[in-house]
C-alpha cells in the first residue's frame, strides 16, 4: 500500500483507561482505533461529516483484534491506521506499538460498508465518492 493510505497518531493511555489489573482495558483499544481511523480519513476529507454529506453511512460490520502485549498507564503509544481495501468495502488495518521502542502491542482491522442514507440499502460496491477522495480509479 502506498504510504499515503497510512497515518499514525500518538497517544498516552490515561489512568481512567486502566482495568483492575493496571493495564489498559481491552475495550479502550477500540477508542484508540477510532481516533486513528478518523485522523486517517480526515487526510482525505472524508471523515464522518463528509460521509453523511455524501449520502452514505459507513457502519463497522467486522472488527478483529489480536492483543500481543498490554498497554499501560503513561506508556506512549503509536496507533497506525492503513487503508488496505476500498473496492467493495473499506478495510483498515491497525498496528498499536510502543511509541518509544516500536514494540508491537496490538494488531487489528475494521471493515466498513457503505449504506445509502436515503434508502437504507447496503452498497455492494463502494460509492464513487470514496474512490474520488482516495484518488484511486475503479
- pLDDT at res. 102: 97
pLDDT in tens, 74-87: 999 999 999 999 99
Q: What is the domain range of residue 8?
A: 3-134
b/e sequence 90-127, b meaning 16+ C-beta within 10 Å: bbbbbbbbbbeeeeebbebbbbbbbbeeeeeeebeebe
- pLDDT at res. 2: 66
Q: Count up the domains in the chain and report the number.
A: 1
Torsion of CA 6, 41, 43, 8, to 10 degrees: -40
- Burial of residue 38 (CB within 10 Å: 0-12, 13-18, 19+) is middle
Check whether 111 has a pLDDT greater than 80.
yes
SS3 93: strand
Closest CA to 5 of 133, 114, 137, 138: 133
pLDDT in tens, 5-58: 999 999 999 999 999 999 999 999 999 999 999 999 999 999 999 999 999 999
**DSSP-derived secondary structure letter, 16:** G
- pLDDT at res. 46: 96
pLDDT averaged over every residue in the chain: 95
Whole-model pTM: value is 0.94
Q: How confident is the model at residue 99 (pLDDT cuts 50, 70, 90)?
A: very high
Check whether 138 has a pLDDT greater than 80.
no
CATH number of 77's domain: 3.10.129.10
Check whether 1 has a pLDDT greater than 90.
no
Amino acid at each position: 500500500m502506498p504510504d499515503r493510505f497510512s497515518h499514525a497518531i500518538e497517544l498516552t493511555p490515561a489512568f481512567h483507561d486502566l482495568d483492575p489489573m493496571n493495564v489498559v482495558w481491552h475495550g479502550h483499544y477500540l477508542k484508540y482505533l477510532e481516533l486513528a481511523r478518523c485522523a486517517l480519513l480526515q487526510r482525505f476529507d472524508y471523515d464522518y461529516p463528509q460521509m453523511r454529506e455524501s449520502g452514505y453511512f459507513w457502519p463497522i460490520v467486522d472488527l478483529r483484534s489480536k492483543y500481543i502485549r498490554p498497554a499501560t498507564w503513561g506508556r506512549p503509544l503509536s496507533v497506525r491506521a492503513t487503508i488496505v481495501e476500498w473496492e467493495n468495502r473499506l478495510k483498515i488495518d491497525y498496528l498499536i506499538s510502543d511509541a518509544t521502542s516500536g514494540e508491537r502491542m496490538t494488531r487489528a482491522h475494521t471493515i466498513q460498508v457503505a449504506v445509502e442514507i436515503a434508502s437504507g440499502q447496503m452498497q455492494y460496491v463502494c460509492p464513487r465518492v470514496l474512490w474520488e477522495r482516495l484518488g484511486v480509479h475503479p
